[in-house]
Amino acid sequence: MSEASSAAAPAAPPALDDLMLAMDIVDTLRHDMRIAERELDDGKRRADMKKRLGEIYASQGISVPDDMLEEGVRALEQDRFTYKSRATGLQAGLARLYVKRGKLGLALGVLLLAGAVGWAGWYFGLERPRLTREAAVAAELARGGERLDAALAEITTLTPSPALRERAEALAADGRAATAAGDQAALARALDGLGAITAEAKQLAALPARIDTALAAIRAETVDDSALTSAAALEGEAKRALAAFDGTAASGAAGKLEALLALLRQSYEIRIVQADEVPSGVWRIPEVNPTARNHYLIVEAVGPDGVAIAMPVTSEESRKTSTVKRWGVRVGQDIFDAVRRDKSDDGIIQNDRVAEKKRGMSAPEWAIPAPPGAITEW
């Protein structure tokens, strides 16, 4: 091999033992910085330091060549084998973040997902319903004034009643105050009150036609003087109530006229009951006269279809009116005994019809003397 080739060949890396020894030399120098500070000033002192280092190792039984001592001193001068802290600053920080971007990205993603879930729960579970409720309340209050004015105008059109109009205006004023204060509950109460007055005004406005219709039907239905007299009295009662804007009284009179019309249109026969479970007649001892007896035939009103009709009957014993399908009519003892004989011969009452109510008539026509009283229990 030529000298040129030998000069061009790279230097072989130091052996591991040599490297460890150099590190130990540097460490010895660092532990005795007085030597380093004192001996490294000039060449002579540098040679003395190497000699002293050789003596230190020799005292430990270690033989260190001069070239290794020289290498250790050079390493100390070059700060080799010295730990240097990581660089600081913005660029170094950004570089470290970039290196750790995978872990940091995952952590950031988890945090963002948790935040998004929490926000969605808060918004859709609490905030959005609250905003919806507030918007609904605001819209209701915004429409409140219009609804109050419309209700008041309708009531004024429906009825001339001063009392109803005064009540309506007071409620409308309360509603406007509630709207201005943002009080939805008070506004709702005012509107409900106006609604009730509107219904009352409509009923009052419809009563004249209702009364006239019932009167016309009664007059077309009957020539019964008693029924016509009752109808005329009820007409006067209704007109007085309407003049006073008393809807309750006027409605009551209209109801009575309609009940009279329904009565006139009824037709039925009053017959003595013939049933095994019900007696055809009973007698009672009145409390006011223990020595007397009151005799009663048990009867029912049977319509054209053969079905018993429930009738209002006032008991002469209790003074209470009840709606019943069977009741007792008081008769004389002679009629009572005649019915008993009729039934006792074959178990059947041959002539069981005691009265007939014809259509257009207000009361039945009795085939026996009209009963002076009745009972509903026996």
pLDDT digits (tens, 9 = 90+) for 280-328: 999 999 888 888 999 999 999 999 999 999 999 999 999 999 999 999 9
- 133 pLDDT more than 90: no
Q: Range with the lowest mean pLDDT among 15-19, 24-28, 212-216, 340-344?
A: 15-19
Per the structure, the complete domain to which residue 60 belongs is given by 13-77
Helix (H) or strand (E) holding 328: strand 326-331
What is the rounded CA–CA span in Å between residue 141 and residue 175?
10
Q: What is the mean pLDDT of residues 202-208?
A: 93
Tokens of 278: 């019900």
pLDDT the model gives residue 76:
64
Q: Stretch 220-227: mean pLDDT, rounded? A: 94
Question: Residue 6: what pLDDT?
Answer: 43
Of 55, 77, 99, which one is at a domain's C-terminal end? 77
Q: Report which of 107, 86, 182, 170 is spatially closest to residue 142, judged by C-alpha positions.
A: 182
Asked if the structure places residue 94 within a domain, the reply is no
Confidence of residue 3 (pLDDT cuts 50, 70, 90): very low
Q: Which residue has the higher pLDDT, 22 or 168?
A: 168
Q: What is the mean pLDDT of the chain?
A: 84
- Pair 342, 349: CB distance under 8 Å: yes
| pTM, entire model | 0.57
Are residue 308 and residue 365 in the same domain, yes or no? Answer: yes
Return the closest-CA partner of residue 281 out of 336, 333, 230, 218.
Answer: 336
What's 80's DSSP letter? T
**284 and 257 share one domain:** no
Lowest mean pLDDT among 131-140, 248-257, 346-355: 131-140
pLDDT at residue number 62: 78
Assigned domain for 145 exists: no
Q: Is 306 left (phi over 0), alpha (psi -120 to 50) or beta?
A: left
Tell me the pLDDT band of 68, cut-offs 50, 70 and 90.
Answer: confident
pLDDT of residue 296: 97
What does the pLDDT average to over 167-178? Answer: 93
C-alpha 42/C-alpha 65 separation (Å) is 21
- The answer on 272 and 260 residing in a single domain is no
Mean pLDDT, range 371-376, rounded to an integer:
95
In the structure, what pLDDT confidence band is assigned to residue 358 with cuts at 50, 70 and 90? Answer: very high
The whole-number pLDDT of residue 339 equals 94
* Separation of alpha carbons 131 and 146, rounded Å: 24
Could you read off the pLDDT of 335-356 as tens digits, one per residue? 999 999 999 888 899 989 999 9
Mean pLDDT of 227-232: 96
- Mark whether 65 and 38 lie in a shared domain: yes
Residue 98 has pLDDT above 70, yes or no: yes
Does residue 2 lie within any of the structural domains?
no
Helix residue spans in 100-161 (DSSP H) = 101-122, 128-158
- How many domains does the chain divide into? 3
Tell me: do 318 and 280 sit in the same domain.
yes
Choose one of 264, 290, 305: the last residue of a domain. Answer: 264
CA distance 63 to 72: 14
3-state helix, strand and coil shares in percent for the chain, rounded to the nearest 5? 60, 10, 25
- Which is it for the CA torsion 37, 40, 42, 43, positive or negative? positive
CA distance 327 to 313: 8
Q: Which pLDDT score, from 0 to 100, does residue 57 have?
A: 77
Q: How far is CA 194 from CA 86, 155, 180, 272, in A?
A: 83, 8, 18, 55
Among the residue ranges 15-24, 229-238, 242-251, the one predicted with the least confidence is 15-24
Question: CA 228, CA 64: separation in Å to the nearest integer?
Answer: 151
Q: Which of 44, 61, 77 represents a domain boundary (last residue)?
A: 77
